[in-house]
Chain A
């Protein structure tokens, strides 16, 4: 085994790319859950975003249009969930699981003739001088625009949730929909918007996966990223800043185990591939041991169906 083949700088750079799809999906789900809705369909929305973004990018030749279309399609499928749970009062857990199944199936149907094609390239930014600096240059100034966008989005969501009236109303709806309704807020409308936002973020994450991270279309390519995003929301105690830590932790373990595999570590690759998921489970168990602190941040109405009683 040759550990010296693993360069820390490359590791950090690829870690960020590996984490971005999960981070985007987790941020979207965080907003959805803050509004009191539990959408377990993240995986389905992600893969729809992946396939739709891929098709759009290949057809138009523009990765930007691919991202846009991926986000739109993610939001569109999330509306199935939204209408079922918000207007028809369907159970959120069952509907979310159904959305995942539906998304996976629909994506393989849509993507059937797109396997094996290369999408248009989406390159890293290059700022003269700055990007050429040793170490710092590649870690800070050498990524593609979507990574910067995901970081800006994290900050934006934090600012929205904690500093704006809209964010306050959203949190209030997630905290007690009955009280929010009594004050005259439109609970269902706010939740519809949150779900659409969550769908768009998941779709964007999926598109990043098929356009940048892999970059190809393959059936079932999300491989549980949507579930990890859900876990990261809990790990982050519904705080955007911590979602970065969670996503990068998972991405870091993923990239590290790949590097270790390449370096020829004498452990079966099957075990190494497990490590990111194992790490997620272990971290969640540790987090859950402190219930009191966690439940302070958890939206109190999470997953509860809202009936407007007049």
Chain B
């Protein structure tokens, strides 16, 4: 049988880096094929070549045995290749139907299209209202928009780039159900992920990329997550060891915190209460857009609230700004690395100054102590194994994982009493993620309180002592993390409050 898609010798070089080097594999009709690799392994470049966004320097692609060289996405779509993007390519201020029409080359009239959307979403069990504005939808619903957009074109090959990173476990199940149905109808799927359990569940074959080269293939069902991860990274992985948790005195107390969101598509915080003890790692789970960003802003001091809502070591600080809180020992590292946690065009030294100046005494009467600042930046780089030519390089020149190590390291090096982090390992390769988790646990061991906001449940289960879920701006009761099942958390994430008395 001729494979649906056959790739051989694909090479694409960018100045200074070979993104893909002699990559080749094939996908059979009706096969779910996984593409595995760390960040920077060249998965995205490869997918962009298949979808016509990037042209290979050399190599050959064949679709149905015919030469296939799309020069633009339109050509790829016409040949039957559809793609669901990692960062959703949706327009928030437009309706579902408008978004779908934009992704089609010969979109029918709005009414006819709406009917089509309804029938396709019904057929595949993807509930979707064509008239709603995308900005109001949850991440799972947004992904459905993308999938339905692809399905309306009857694709032969569906490319999915990290499709589950923003979904609740229940939404993942629905997605897999849809994918299986598609596979049974003969559609091939190229599935890109670094979530190994999912790949084991859904994929027939896997190709593993490392630094732009194919380093192996396997049948995921016959491997363990660990063996696949090691193939991906190329070395053995160490997993952090959890220490026994002894709650210390309360460091941070949040009581009935209300915070209306300023973003029209944001989520207001409603009545959030919890307390954080010395030595505790509190994990806050939840699907993106349920108030995570707002919670971080409220705790870091970027969005002031009522004084009494936040008590830090006995002092009410709700209306105080970030620097006051830093001096008192409350530090934070937001999710967005470029533009929020770090200024992209400024050097690492300057970035170290930005949050470190108050606590590290890097200024003197308004003048910057550059030598001390540089030493501080170098210390972070050394201690946290940040791979960069030097502290004078711009933050944006670092890879995601390295910048994240720098951002987290910058806060930890200031010896906080309380550290709040949002998505500490999002889009970070496996070894850097393990490193960051280890550092957070070490910090807690030294007696600090750590609040980790994350959408990665495996991560939270691995490092949290206690656990709560943020849903539509409300925080569930904090419970012990031991004995909580993924199903329970999933229900909480979907907004269902499970039996209060139980835990």
List chain A positions with a Cβ less than 8 A from chain B: 165, 168-169, 171-172, 175-176, 178-180, 182-185, 291-293, 295-297, 300, 310
The reply to whether B91 and A175 contact each other, CB–CB distance below 8 Å, is yes
CB distance from A174 to the nearest CB of B (A): 9
Partner of B264, one of A171, A176, A295: A295
Complex CA gap A25/B135 in Å reads: 31
Closest 8 CB pairs of A and B: A184-B73, A179-B89, A175-B91, A182-B89, A292-B264, A184-B74, A310-B54, A172-B91
Complex CA gap A171/B101 in Å reads: 13
Query: Total number of A-B contacts with CB less than 8 angstroms?
Result: 58
Whether B94 sits at the interface, judged by CB under 8 Å, is yes
CB distance from A304 to the nearest CB of B (A): 12
CB distance from B396 to the nearest CB of A (A): 12
Whether B90 sits at the interface, judged by CB under 8 Å, is yes
Complex CA gap A171/B92 in Å reads: 11
CB distance from A297 to the nearest CB of B (A): 7
Whether B344 sits at the interface, judged by CB under 8 Å, is no
CB distance from B345 to the nearest CB of A (A): 14
Known A165-B101, A172-B102, A179-B90: A310·B48 in contact at CB below 8 Å: yes
* A298: nearest chain-B partner, CB-CB: B93
The reply to whether A171 and B94 contact each other, CB–CB distance below 8 Å, is yes
For B53, what are the chain A residues with a Cβ–Cβ distance below 8 Å?
A: 182, 184, 310
Whether B262 sits at the interface, judged by CB under 8 Å, is yes
Total interface residues on B, CB under 8 Å, equals 24
For B107, what are the chain A residues with a Cβ–Cβ distance below 8 Å?
A: 165
The reply to whether B94 and A183 contact each other, CB–CB distance below 8 Å, is no
- Determine chain A's interface SS by DSSP, over half rule: helix
Complex CA gap A295/B265 in Å reads: 10
The reply to whether B54 and A296 contact each other, CB–CB distance below 8 Å, is no
For A178, what are the chain B residues with a Cβ–Cβ distance below 8 Å?
A: 89
The reply to whether A175 and B73 contact each other, CB–CB distance below 8 Å, is no
Complex CA gap A300/B102 in Å reads: 17
The reply to whether B101 and A168 contact each other, CB–CB distance below 8 Å, is yes
* A169: nearest chain-B partner, CB-CB: B102
Whether B98 sits at the interface, judged by CB under 8 Å, is yes
Complex CA gap A179/B52 in Å reads: 15
The reply to whether B54 and A172 contact each other, CB–CB distance below 8 Å, is no
For B135, what are the chain A residues with a Cβ–Cβ distance below 8 Å?
A: 296
For A169, what are the chain B residues with a Cβ–Cβ distance below 8 Å?
A: 102
- B102-132 vs A: 1/0 string, CB under 8 Å? 1100010000000000000000000000000
Whether B72 sits at the interface, judged by CB under 8 Å, is yes
The reply to whether B101 and A291 contact each other, CB–CB distance below 8 Å, is no
Whether B426 sits at the interface, judged by CB under 8 Å, is no
- B66-102 vs A: 1/0 string, CB under 8 Å? 0000001110010000000100111111100010011
